Amino acid sequence: MRKMRLFKFLALGAFCLVAFFAFKWAISFFSKRAPGGQPIPFAWVSVVHFSSGDLPCFNIEIEGQKFPVMLDLGFSGEVSLSKECVSSIKDKTFFLTKEMSNWRGNSYPTSWYQIPKFQLETVTLRNPLLKEENPLLKQQSVVWDDAKDLTQYVGKLGWKLFQKLTLFLDFKHGTMAICDNVDTFAQYGYKLERFVKVPALISEDAVEVDVSTPDGFLRCLLDTGCTYSCWNDDYPVEEVRKRMEGARYFKTFSNVYIGGKDFGKMVFRPIPLKLDPPVQAILGMDFFFEHQVLIDFKNEQIYIAVSKEEDKPDGPQVRFD
């Protein structure tokens, strides 16, 4: 009888121990689940390569085909591909044709389609509008006619693809993160205390931020499709290469401020932007290589911090739709 009671006591203790650890696992598991039992959306996406113009390129997959595309926050759309690539996609629905302009002010008709989905590593993006690139518009979008960039990607990812999400760019470490909101990012990513938080100036066409310089405020377009930071200067477009390469034409500020924080020296190159609506200046890839940028599209906030070598991404990789 005494042995039986001891056996029951040990069995009960073992059961309680198992139940305790099972409870802890459940708390840990479900605290990382969204309502409805779905995984919290958070994923790192690695840059496949930087183009010869230092533009970040990724692979997307549509109907089993992989396409190299460039992340272009200056593109007011969701995704674009060359005419040849669009023709190879079977499941697409024509949406509309509209005029699109480049920085030179040239406009050409472009066709837009809707596709069911595409894959960006572990991230499934559904029902995007797909723009068919006009080859003339694409060729005239580069500053240098001999640029090799046009052969290194066949399309673009635009900022409107992420307008219901939160996007983190960390190009010093060759990566970006996509998540559902800033709280998720704070849980799984970097600490927000070291970031400056400022309003994201989001319009139908652009995502911009105010930058304070000794000459006054510049409203800057965030543009990962532009190699250099630029300011809008009025001169003949035929001189663009000379002025973009000639240091004597640059505007160099020893101190610039964003959200009241001093981000140090910044150089802007002159470019004659003929955009509608007009753009004062551009923060290009030279800025993004030196800074981590978190864009909270839903709440229209931007978080910016100086990028450091020791800041390595260590968040989880979660597949989500």
What value does the mean pLDDT of the chain take?
84
Residues ≥6 apart with Cβ < 8 Å to 33? 39, 40
Work out whether the CA dihedral 58, 62, 63, 65 comes out positive or negative. Answer: negative
CATH number, residue 262: 2.40.70.10
Rounded distance between C-alpha atoms, residue 8 and residue 16, angstroms: 12
Separation between Cα atoms, residue 278 and residue 208, nearest integer Å? 12
Q: What is the DSSP letter of 320?
A: B
pLDDT band for position 18 (cuts 50, 70, 90): very low
Q: How confident is the model at residue 30 (pLDDT cuts 50, 70, 90)?
A: very low
Residue 21 has pLDDT above 60, yes or no: no
**Domain range for 54:** 42-306
Q: Tell whether 260 is covered by a domain.
A: yes
Residue 205 lies in a domain: yes
Is residue 23 assigned to a domain? no
25 found inside a domain: no
Amino acid letter, residue 319 = R
Q: What is the pLDDT of residues 286-315, one digit of tens each?
A: 999 999 999 999 999 999 999 986 665 554
Encoded amino acid at 57, one letter? C
**Whole-number Å distance between alpha carbons of 240 and 245:** 8
Query: What's the pLDDT score for residue 118?
Result: 96
- Which pLDDT band holds residue 101 (cuts at 50, 70, 90)? confident
Check whether 27 has a pLDDT greater than 70.
no
β-sheet bridge partners, residue 61: 66, 119
Rounded mean pLDDT, 3-20: 45
Q: Which residue has the higher pLDDT, 127 or 35?
A: 127
CB atoms within 10 A of CB 274: 16
Q: 241 pLDDT band (50/70/90 cuts)?
A: confident
pLDDT tens by residue, 40-68: 488 999 999 999 889 999 999 999 999 99
Assign 3-class secondary structure to 175-210: EEEEECCHHHHHHHCCCHHHCEEEECEECCCCEEEE
* pLDDT at res. 136: 74
Which carries the bigger pLDDT value, residue 125 or residue 14?
125
In this prediction, residue 150 carries a pLDDT of 67
Long-range contacts at 91-100 (CB < 8 A, ≥ 24 apart): 91/63, 91/115, 91/116, 92/130, 95/129, 100/131, 100/134, 100/137
Residue 16 lies in a domain: no
Residue 37 lies in a domain: no
Question: What is the average per-residue pLDDT within 14-35?
Answer: 38
Least confidently predicted of 90-94, 98-102, 267-271: 98-102
User: Does 273 map to a domain?
Assistant: yes
Residue 182 has pLDDT above 70, yes or no: yes
Number of folded domains in the chain? 1
End-to-end CA distance of the chain: 59
Residue 20 lies in a domain: no
Average pLDDT score over residue span 113-121: 96
Handedness of CA 179, 182, 183, 186 (dihedral sign): positive
pLDDT at 32: 36
Residue 13 above 80 pLDDT?
no
d(CA 299, CA 49): 31
Lowest mean pLDDT of 34-48, 222-236, 249-263, name the range: 34-48
Lowest-confidence region among 6-15, 83-92, 202-211, 252-261: 6-15
Residues 210-236, mean pLDDT to the nearest whole number: 94
Would you place residue 79 in the very low, low, confident or very high pLDDT band (cuts 50, 70, 90)?
very high
Q: What is the DSSP string of 25-89?
A: HHHHHHTTB-TTSPBP-EEEEE--EE-TT--EEEEEEETTEEEEEEE-TT--SSEEE-HHHHHT-
